[in-house]
Structure formats: C-alpha cells, structure tokens
Chain A
Amino acid sequence: MHKILLIIQREYFTRIQKKSFWIASILTPLLITGIYAIPIWLATRDKEIKKVEFLDQSGLFTNESLQSKEVQFELVKGNEESLKKNFLRTDFEALVIVPKDILTQPKTVRIYAEKSISLILQSRIEGIIQDRLRKELLAHAGIQKEAYDKTQVDVSGDTIILSNEGDEKESNSGGIMILAGILGFILYMTVLIYGSQVMNGVIEEKSSRIIEVMVSSVKPIQLMLGKIIGVGLVGLTQFLLWAILTFSFSNVAKVMYGNDLKKEVQSQMVKTAIDKNGKKSTSEDQNADINPLKVVEEVKNSVNIPLLVGCFLFFYFFGYLLYSSLFAAIGSAAESAAEAQQFTFPVTIPIIISFFLAQFTIQEPDSTIAFWASIIPFTSPINMIVRLPYGVPVYELILSMVLLIAGFLGTSWLSARIYRVGILMYGKKLTWKDLSKWLFYKN
C-alpha cells in the first residue's frame, strides 16, 4: 500500500509541476468567463442611438409612426438622387427609402449605408415599416388595430417541478440543457485526455526501459493502479482549479463593470415583471427575455447542486478509471505512441459513441435509449451526468453507479493481465490475438 502511495505521489507531482498543466488550468476558466461575460459586456456597452434618414414616397409615415427607443428616424423630403449624393456627408447611419407602391410591393424598401449595417438595425428598420404597413392593411380589410393586437398573444411557460413535500421550484429547461451539455462535454474531454495521458505514461516507462527496474521493486498491478490514480487526481485538481478560477474570474469581471450590469439586469427584471402582469410584450422585448443571470438562478434553484457535483466527481473518477485501465493495457503492448495507435481505436470508439448518445439523451432524457445509455458502464458516465440535471430516479442512479464500479473492476482485471505481460515484451509486432492470449498466461 505504501508503495502505491509513492507511485501516486510521483505521477501526481511530476504532472502538476508541468507548465502545460497550469496553462490549461488558467486558460480554460478565462475562456469560460469570456464566453459568459463578453456578450453581457457588449450588451451594456452598445447603447448609442442610431440616426437614420427616412424618405417616405408613399405618404404613409408620420413622425408619430416612426417613434422608436433604439433608432432615431428623421423624416426627410426631397429628391432621392440628391439625398443619396449628400448622404455620405451627413452623420446618418443609413438612408431608408420607402417607395410609393410599398403596400403592394412590400419588398422594395431600399436601405443605403456607408458600410454594411448591423442585422439588429436592419431588423428594427424593417420592423417599424412592417408595423405601419400592417396597420394600414388591417384598416383596408376592415379590422380594428385593437382587435388584431388582442390576437397577438405571447405564450410563455415555466416548468415548475413538484416534489412530494409539496415544494414548487421553477425550472428552466433551456438552462438545464446547457448545463447538461457542458457537464457531458467536460467528462468526454477529460476521460479522453487523461486516459491517453495514462497510455503515454506507460509507453514512456516502457520505451525508456525503466519498467524492468520498477517491476523489480513493485508489482505491475501496483504500478498500473498508482499511475492511473495519480493521473486521475491530476484531473480532479484541474476541475477544482477550474471551478475556483472560473468563480473568481467571473467575480472580477462583475466588479469591473458591476454597475452597468446591475442596471441592465434591473431593466430586464422590470420588463419581465410587466410581461407577467399580462401586458403584451413587443417582439423586441422577447429577445431581452433570455437573461443569463436569470437562467443561472433558475437552474440553481431547480437542480440539486451538491448531488450533481458529487455525482459528477463520481462518474468522472470511475468512468476515467474504467477507460484509463484499458489505455494502460494498450500502452503496455506498444513501444511507441505510433504503435499504440492501432490499438487505441477500440477504446476510443465507446467514448465517442457515448458522446453521440449523449446528444440524444440531452433531448430525450427519459427515453429508453437514454436509460440504457446511462446504465451500461461504458456509456454511463457521460450519459448519466447528462441526464442528472433533469432529475433521475434514485434506484437508476444507484444501479448505474454499482454497474460502473463493477465495470471498472472488470476492465482493470483484464487490463492488469495484459499489462503485466506487455510491459516486458519488446521487439515484437503485436496483434489482438497476442493480447488475448496474454489474458490466460500464468504469472
């Protein structure tokens, strides 16, 4: 036991002393914070009001019908050609020309600009023209604008999770899906990355020929488990660093533009409050409805975070153990990374399959396929963690965990038998047949 600890220690410390470990540990949280914070930052920044020249040849538009919070329209009169000629000298963002027959030819609006205008500005211009035209057309058809407005109901539902205790928790399906996707992806990446680290570690020991010295001091199984556990702990350390750093980076980001953000959130809260009071929301407001902070809050409320974290660590560790012992066996059969390539395929395939199954599980977490994918040891780590945020019956969770441990014991038994023969085998081109023979070798 003491020797396994020594091996774990060495494997762990030599890896976390590497620069690459720290680069990955720091860059990833920066990236996550960036993905999360930059759009918010941009949203709080980009608030200047755009000015647009508006030439109405149809006579439908008045200053009142061109009221908008985000765009300042200025009705101009005059000749189209001269306006175009002078446009570049003005400080207008765009020149909009509405032709005479706009009611019959609604696609003939022309927008001139110095450079391409943003999609948002374009849709705002189109929106305001569309509103006006609709009103006109409704009037032509003899329908009151108010009657039409009443038909424009905006349905929005919140999933509310009921528990036996009678609690009601508001859930957010979109947010949960994102959370499930992120967790599944992290698991997928880490099992692959750390699994192949184990493989490369074994190959290194074999190709540097230290292996024979090692096995004259410790049992091969000790060496294998020590390496696997040591590398696994490096993975856990990395998760911990990611969590801590992501949290602190986002806090730093919050402080840096805290006030802007607060205002933004408040104004959105007001909007949603209005929505809830039954007032119609305009199409613009609907976009603002997706507030990342609100989503995070709702997901936090509806998901059992400690259970999720605990299960994530469990499924990472045992999923990793299961695969990395197979990677160790493959490493033992090869003398170089290139040679190992031919054997890695059958091990990476189940990982990739489980990742594909997870795409399905994330959409149908209660389907039969999702159930089996989250129970069978090879696919269960990724698929169970994807199902978890949606809620999984306790017995299914326990069944999946027990089977995963059993699966790990099975693969590590298998791998240890290949490993102990493979590490001392040199100068032979190996086939799957050789590997399967080793399973039955006596010590």
Chain B
Amino acid sequence: MIISIQQVVKRYADHLALNQIDLEIPRGKIFGLLGPNGAGKTSLIRIINQITAPDSGRVLFNEEELNPSHIERIGYLPEERGLYKKMKVGEQLLYLAQLKGMSKSHATEELKKWFIKFDIKDWWNKPVEDLSKGMQQKTQFISTIVHQPELLILDEPFSGFDPINANLLKEEILELKERGTTIIFSTHRMDSVEELCDNVALINHAEVVLKGEKHQIQNDFKKNEYLISFDGNLLNGDSYEIVKMNQNTANIRLKEESTVNQVLAEIMHQVDVKGFNEIIPGFDQIFIEVVSNSNS
C-alpha cells in the first residue's frame, strides 16, 4: 500500500468534511476517488498533499507517518489550475520543479525531454499568458510529473481538456502507470473511471460508501440481467422475466436459481437467438444507486 488512511476526521467551522475515513491505496494502480461535489474528495486530497492536516486519524505513506519529506514524492494537479501568467513557460516549470526538490540542472534536463515529447520546444521563452488554454494545460501537466513522483494525484484531470488533449493525457496516465506510478484520480466522470481505474472508492457526505476493486464492484452490482438480440416473438418464461423490450433486443432478468443454460433452452424454443450478453452495470448507475441509497 502506498497510502493508508486510517480513521481520518476533518471538521471545518460549519461542517464535517471527512468522517472516520479508512482507505488503502495500492501501489502501482490507478485509484478512482469518486463522489458528488462537496462530498469531501478535495479535503481528502489536501490532507494527502499536506496542505491541511486531519483533526484526528493517521495517514501513512509507504508505511511511514506522512511528513514534509514526502511532498517531493507526490505530484498534484488540482482541479482549479493556474500558473503565473507573466512568467515564461520554461522559467516557471523550472521554478516549480525546484520547489519539488529537483536541482536546476536535473530539472532542465528532464523538462527538455518533455518539451520534445510534447513537441513544444519553441514555447520555452513564451510567457504563459500567450499560450492557449490547451497549451497551458499541457504545461501544467508537465509541472505535475516532471519530478517523477511515486504518487500522482489528479483532481478532475479532464475538465477543460479538448478531446485531443484529453486523449493525450489518458495515454500519458497509462504510460506512467506502466512505469510504476500510483495514480489517484478524483472525478465524477464515470466513463474515464471505467476506462482507467483499477480500484475505486466512492465518498458521499464525508463518508466512504463504497470501495473495492473495479471489476469486483461491478460484479457485486450485477442484477443478473442479460441482453439478448433475436428474431421472432419473445414472451416471459419460467426461468426469466423481460425487463425491457425493444424491436429486436430485450433485457431479461434471470429468476433465482435459474441458470443461463436453462434460460437459453427456454428462449431457443421461441425465437432465433442472435446474441446473448451479460449486462455489466456502468459506474454511472452504480454511482447514482449508491449515492441515492446513502442519501435516503
């Protein structure tokens, strides 16, 4: 575990932001931190970044109590992003890299690699305010990862990215994972969760309401429903019931103790089966279901 959060409580003047949070973030994985706005995601991220401290509870980084020396091993892309507008791109990135503990020469060397990789060599001496929004986001992303952090925390990384840059970012994230970086990924965009995350935790009203391995959660939320496509006329059967009927497809739910084989046998008598697939619940649904359950 790269991060282990134990019984963390954070209270602000007028509300409880985090209530007895327990979370384990496994090394080398992409961890999705999900939750509605105001659930406590940013509070938790700020605690891991040591921007604020918890009122009680502990946070361990590589089995060590979180301390200032860990700051240099973490990269953080906040949701609200920004750079010094008047500063030149190269100067600014050097400055931020040095604040993360890199030497000037090492930082220059690494930055040059990124400038070549992103094909932005001629930006070095441009002031940030002359860059387009997409260019600024690339710059910001480089500043987050140039010091080769073990842990990368991305808060809503895709917000404001155009599809091309979003795709570039996605590829970079996967590449970083390949190289062993752990990534915490806070978002409410569920499509990117399904695509990228290995593990997820869902926070609602300052509490963790769901956590686990992505496929496991999806399995847990399966409703025993299947999508069939067919030719002919399909009716309810003994082993299943129809949930939703379309032109040539239908969603069916298996009755308890029925097996897929029984259902198939029953259907094959009625129609010409073209396809048969289990319906894996999307995180959209899981999210809505869990949040509305925990709210009520």
A residues whose Cβ falls under 8 Å from a Cβ of B: 3, 6-7, 10, 14, 204-205, 208-219, 424, 426, 437, 441-443
Interface bin, chain B: 20 to 34
Contact among A7, A204, A205, A443 with B52 in the assembled complex (CB-CB below 8 Å)? A443
> Which of B46, B84, B140, B143 has the largest number of chain A CB atoms within 10 A?
B84
Contact among A10, A212, A216, A437 with B71 in the assembled complex (CB-CB below 8 Å)? A216
The smallest beta-carbon distance between B14 and chain A, in angstroms, is 10
The smallest beta-carbon distance between B141 and chain A, in angstroms, is 12
The smallest beta-carbon distance between A29 and chain B, in angstroms, is 27
Does B282 have its Cβ within 8 Å of any Cβ on chain A?
no
The reply to whether B99 and A210 contact each other, CB–CB distance below 8 Å, is no
The smallest beta-carbon distance between B295 and chain A, in angstroms, is 24
The reply to whether B143 and A213 contact each other, CB–CB distance below 8 Å, is yes
The reply to whether B82 and A217 contact each other, CB–CB distance below 8 Å, is no
The reply to whether A442 and B100 contact each other, CB–CB distance below 8 Å, is no
B residues whose Cβ falls under 8 Å from a Cβ of A: 13, 46, 49-53, 55, 68, 71, 74, 76, 78, 80-87, 95-96, 98-100, 140, 143
Given A424-B51, A437-B13, A443-B52, are A3 and B99 neighbors across the interface (CB < 8 Å)? Answer: yes
The reply to whether A10 and B95 contact each other, CB–CB distance below 8 Å, is yes
- Please indicate the chain B residues that have their CB under 8 angstroms from the CB of A441 in the complex: 13
The smallest beta-carbon distance between B182 and chain A, in angstroms, is 16
- Please indicate the chain B residues that have their CB under 8 angstroms from the CB of A426 in the complex: 80
CA–CA, A213 and B46, complex, Å: 11
Interface of B is mostly: loop
For the complex with contacts A209-B81, A210-B84, A213-B82, 6 further pairs of A-B residues with Cβ separation under 8 Å are A3-B99, A6-B98, A209-B80, A213-B96, A216-B50, A216-B51
Given A6-B99, A437-B13, are A442 and B82 neighbors across the interface (CB < 8 Å)? Answer: no
Contact among B53, B80, B99 with A443 in the assembled complex (CB-CB below 8 Å)? B53
Contact among A14, A210, A217 with B83 in the assembled complex (CB-CB below 8 Å)? A210
Given A212-B80, A441-B13, are A217 and B100 neighbors across the interface (CB < 8 Å)? Answer: yes
CA–CA, A175 and B82, complex, Å: 53
Q: Return the chain A residue nearest B10 by Cβ.
A: A442
The smallest beta-carbon distance between B72 and chain A, in angstroms, is 8
- Please indicate the chain A residues that have their CB under 8 angstroms from the CB of B68 in the complex: 219
The smallest beta-carbon distance between A161 and chain B, in angstroms, is 51
- Please indicate the chain A residues that have their CB under 8 angstroms from the CB of B96 in the complex: 213, 217
Given A14-B86, A14-B87, A208-B85, are A217 and B80 neighbors across the interface (CB < 8 Å)? Answer: no
